[in-house]
Amino acid sequence: MHTTTPPSGEGSHSGRASRTPAWSHLFLPVHRWLYRRTGGAIGHHLGIQRTLLLTTTGRHSGQPRTQPLAYFTQEGQTFVVASNWGNDRPPAWYLNLQAEPRVQVQLGRRIFDATAAIASPEERSRLWPRLIARSPNFARYQELAAREIPLVLLHPEPSAR
């Protein structure tokens, strides 16, 4: 099954069909619910992949928006990848944190406030090759996307450390 670009403009700018798998619209809400309900006992590890819950503030609604995302830690820095499955348009959570970088993160049972920052070109050039070595699917997403896929660094607030 394949999805098309929704009329709301949440798909790619080019009008091509969205690369977002149809199953994700069912799986992600269940993943989010299980992660919250079990404190990450179910959902933090998906095979070799680790996930977190990132809560942003909706840029239009002002309401909290929570998304389960794969995360990576390199050089003591936790980050997520705004790949949106290789779509040309960045994910909504990324647009939200551009408008309001204060976020909440749940890593397993640990919940903390953080500030999201887009990796600088230097940070990205250092982190990207290691990311691709660990998760080659992001190289494919970068090939598909008509944009540079950003890495988003999550800096815990001092009280969360």
pLDDT, tens digit, 9 for 90 and up, residues 84-110:
988 899 999 999 999 999 999 999 999
For residue 126, pLDDT beyond 50: yes
Tokens of 20: 């977002």
| Residue 25: per-residue pLDDT | 64
Distance between CA atoms of residues 44 and 38, nearest Å: 10
Tokens of 125: 């050039």
Q: What is the mean pLDDT of residues 16-34?
A: 69
24-160 belongs to which CATH class? Answer: mainly beta
- What tens digit of pLDDT does each residue of 61-78 get? 999 999 999 999 998 899
Distance between CA atoms of residues 145 and 140, nearest Å: 9
| Residue 49: per-residue pLDDT | 85
| Region for 62 from its dihedrals, namely left if φ exceeds 0, alpha if ψ lies in -120 to 50, beta otherwise | left
Q: Give 131's strand partners.
A: none
Distance between CA atoms of residues 37 and 64, nearest Å: 17
Tokens of 103: 């976020």
3-state helix, strand, coil in the chain (%, to 5): 30, 30, 40
Distance between CA atoms of residues 133 and 137, nearest Å: 10
Instruction: Please identify which residue in the block is written with the tokens 């309900």.
Output: 37
Q: How many CA atoms lie within 13 A of 134 on its CB side?
A: 14
